[in-house]
Structure 1
């Protein structure tokens, strides 16, 4: 019997109240388990990075609000979030998994990191930078996204358009040649990306772990992610 793949999940933290606790939604872990893998939370301990990259089959960088490097932003902009010990460990893990062509999935904050590590740049407040944009930082609100035909993500979702949740203030606005945009909101904001040079490296601005796995196309990314990790574990 093949073993179930192991997914490393970087922990999030309570940055809004001092950053003294790890604080990560259980939904990430249940979504990965439903798709057929075991998920393990990774703390901000740099000494763990090499072992995690070596022993795990895939990496999930979860949502969060942490201070990114200034050069990841367009000129004149910078992060409005507090510094976090998460940044160095999250980056090292993502770079390590990408270097070994092991599957990487970035959600919200994780998508922005995936894009910027591959040459993209972003803004700290999409609505202020682009007044015609929707307010993307709203709980209990959804908006449509349109999937770009011919991308690997289009094959995963099997739908041209669907509604997603929206919880992000920051957004990628400059896309490098290494990155393919796979979905945009109705206002043009980048909502999903993939890295063509990797066997599986994808990012979503929405939170698929909060969508219904049985009926919502936007949640199918977990099945594809775990399948890619399963190929690594065999």
Structure 2
């Protein structure tokens, strides 16, 4: 019998309400399950990191709004979000999975962390930092993304452009040689990345778990992620 891969999903927390509880959308777990894997929520416990990296087949870094290190931002900028116990655990997990070349998928906050751990830099407010930026942080807003052809992500989506949701204030603006930008919005803002040196390390600025699973090409990222974790 084929063994289902196990995916470690970092928990988020209710930072806007003081950070006293874990908080995460069930949509992440549904998306991983639909793609054929088991998803497990991982708490903020540094002592668990080594075991999780060793025992799990892939790592999903979910959306959130937490205080990133100042050196991840362009000069003169810094995070506007509250500190979180999530940061140190998530960084250790992502580094551990990347070092072992196990699949990593970063969504929103997770894409930004994946990018910055690979030498990119970001801004805390794309609306005021990017000339001509459209609204990227509003419930119910959607915009198109253009997928860069010839990338692994293009092979996954099998589409040149499609509409996505958008819930982010921060954005990557300086891209290192270790990262390939695989999608941009109509205003040029970075919307997806991949790390060519890894077997599977990809990040999306939008939330594919909230898209229509049966019909939207953007949800195919979960199938590719789970397939990579199955090898």
Bin of the TM-score, shorter chain as denominator length: over 0.9
Look up the match of 1:6.
Answer: 6
Look up the match of 1:120.
Answer: 120
Look up the match of 1:178.
Answer: 178
- Written as runs of structure 1 = structure 2, the 5 A alignment for 1:95-106 is 95-106=95-106
Which of 128-137 and 54-63 deviates more?
128-137
CA deviation map 1:20-54 (0-9, x unaligned): 11000000000000000000000000000000000
Look up the match of 1:77.
Answer: 77
Instruction: Quote the offset at 1:191 in angstroms.
Output: 0.1
- TM-score by structure 1 length? 0.98
Look up the match of 2:30.
Answer: 30
SS at match of 2:7: strand
- Written as runs of structure 1 = structure 2, the 5 A alignment for 1:74-223 is 74-223=74-223
**Structure 2 CA distance for aligned equivalents of residues 186 and 131 of structure 1:** 12
Look up the match of 1:16.
Answer: 16
SS at match of 2:156: helix
Matched pairs, number: 231
Instruction: Quote the offset at 1:218 in angstroms.
Output: 0.7
- TM-score by structure 2 length? 0.99
SS at match of 1:127: helix
Structure 1 unaligned residues grouped into runs of 5+: none
SS at match of 1:68: coil
SS at match of 1:149: coil
**Structure 1 CA distance for aligned equivalents of residues 207 and 65 of structure 2:** 14
**Structure 1 CA distance for aligned equivalents of residues 150 and 117 of structure 2:** 24
CA deviation map 1:108-138 (0-9, x unaligned): 0000000000000000000011241011001
CA deviation map 1:168-206 (0-9, x unaligned): 000000000000000000000000000000000000000
**Structure 2 CA distance for aligned equivalents of residues 49 and 192 of structure 1:** 26
SS at match of 1:83: coil
Task: Indicate the RMSD between aligned Cα atoms, in angstroms.
Answer: 0.5
**Structure 2 CA distance for aligned equivalents of residues 194 and 129 of structure 1:** 23
